[in-house]
Amino acid sequence: MVDIQKGEGSFFVEDFGEKLAEITFFKSGDKEITVDHTVVSDKLRGQKVGNALVEKVIELAREENLKIVPECTFVQKQFEKNADYEDVLAK
């Protein structure tokens, strides 16, 4: 699996200075973060890197007791597919 790094308001995969995948989010309330964008380069497609990025945001939300507002359509679909994420979904 690829090495996922944490940035300011993002998790990303980088190779020799080139960002190959990224998920971005921002604080949107006292206890909420909004995930607004996910992108994975063609080099990493089919390797479930997008899913791994979503997992990192879920993990962060759980650790910091935050709820997630999934604005990004990819993240919305992950929430629809995964009942395990229900605990961090903003209502």
**Structural domains of the chain ordered from first start:** 5-88 (3.40.630.30)
Q: pTM of this prediction? A: 0.95
pLDDT tens-digit readout, 18-31 = 999 999 999 998 99
* Bridging pattern class, strands 18-29 and 5-7: unpaired
Question: What is the Cα–Cα distance from 23 to 33, expressed in whole angstroms?
Answer: 12
pLDDT tens-digit readout, 43-84 = 999 999 999 999 999 999 999 999 999 999 999 999 999 999
